[in-house]
């Protein structure tokens, strides 16, 4: 989650280049644009299914995940009408067409390779209205190795209630960097870069201030100090456990 692999706007065709220590990443959009952060829900859902199977002691868990489309819609807080099924199909297309070229290290193995955000997808079953019922998604090998090594973070289910793409990305960054610490501070300029936002800095700052004012971020609250342009995230540390989903490895 260190680098913004997913677009915050549909139709984004910008090629992205990132470097962190010895790791280089190039993200190339497909014909329909780069996969969006809402498309990423497919990733999160598939990974959660793998983690659940592993936690139950299932052996030889495959990187090909079969699931019911309706269950995916409900879990990720989506409508279950015809348009939602159509958009899901479009998400699968963008995920498979968006390409990554990287020398990323996962499971103590470094390699340079190119691959899609998902390797492939297949509609296994359709209903009488020709809507997808059962779907199979094959995750890329590097992501699968990360899941097997349990290089994962947990996300609150309330993450799926965040409709604004930027709010989702800010939550991901807070989850990664603040985690369960009491607080985490970051400059607006650095947060802007990590978010992947294509907006001008002043528009990004205004959006962060609005997010702070609404206090809608799950698990965290944030404040913006306009004197030094610093954003501070505070862990809510609410009592009791929350249902959580699993996310991907930390980049």
Q: What's the pTM?
A: 0.87
Paired residues of 120 in beta bridges: 138
Alpha carbon dihedral 175, 115, 161, 4, in 10-degree steps, equals 50
Q: Look at the block and give the residue holding tokens 């190339």.
A: 28
Contacts of 239 (CB under 8 A, 6+ apart): none
pLDDT tens-digit map of 4-30: 899 999 999 999 988 877 778 899 999
Profile the chain (251 residues) by mean pLDDT over runs of 10 residues: 86 88 87 96 95 89 94 95 92 95 71 84 86 92 88 90 96 92 95 94 97 95 94 77 44 36
Domains and CATH numbers, the chain: 16-152 (1.10.10), 157-245 (1.10.10)
Could you tell me how many helices (H) and strands (E) the chain has, helices first? 7, 14
- Pair 222, 171: CB distance under 8 Å: no
Residue 152 CA to residue 150 CA, distance in Å, equals 5
Indicate the length of the chain as a whole number.
251
């Amino acid at each position: 989650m260190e680098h913004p692999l997913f677009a915050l706007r549909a139709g984004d065709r910008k090629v992205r280049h990132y470097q962190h220590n010895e790791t280089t990443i190039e993200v190339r959009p497909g014909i329909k644009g780069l996969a969006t952060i809402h498309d990423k829900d497919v990733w999160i859902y598939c990974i959660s299914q793998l983690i659940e199977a592993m936690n139950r002691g299932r052996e030889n868990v495959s990187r090909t995940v079969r699931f019911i489309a309706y269950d995916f819609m409900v879990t990720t807080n989506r409508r279950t009408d015809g348009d939602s099924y159509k958009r899901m199909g479009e998400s699968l297309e963008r995920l498979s067409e968006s390409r990554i070229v990287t020398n990323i290290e996962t499971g103590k193995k470094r390699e340079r390779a190119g691959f899609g955000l998902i390797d492939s997808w297949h509609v296994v079953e359709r209903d009488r209205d020709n809507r997808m019922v059962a779907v199979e998604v094959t995750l890329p090998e590097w992501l699968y190795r990360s899941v097997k090594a349990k290089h994962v973070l947990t996300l609150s289910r309330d993450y799926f209630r965040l409709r604004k793409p930027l709010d989702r990305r800010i939550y991901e960054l807070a989850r990664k960097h603040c985690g369960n610490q009491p607080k985490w501070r970051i400059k607006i300029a650095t947060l802007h870069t990590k978010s992947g936002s294509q907006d001008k800095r002043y528009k990004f700052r205004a959006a962060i201030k609005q997010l702070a004012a609404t206090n809608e971020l799950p698990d965290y609250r944030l404040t913006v100090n306009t004197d030094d342009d610093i954003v501070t995230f505070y862990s809510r540390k609410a009592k009791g456990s929350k249902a959580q989903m699993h996310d991907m490895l930390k980049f």
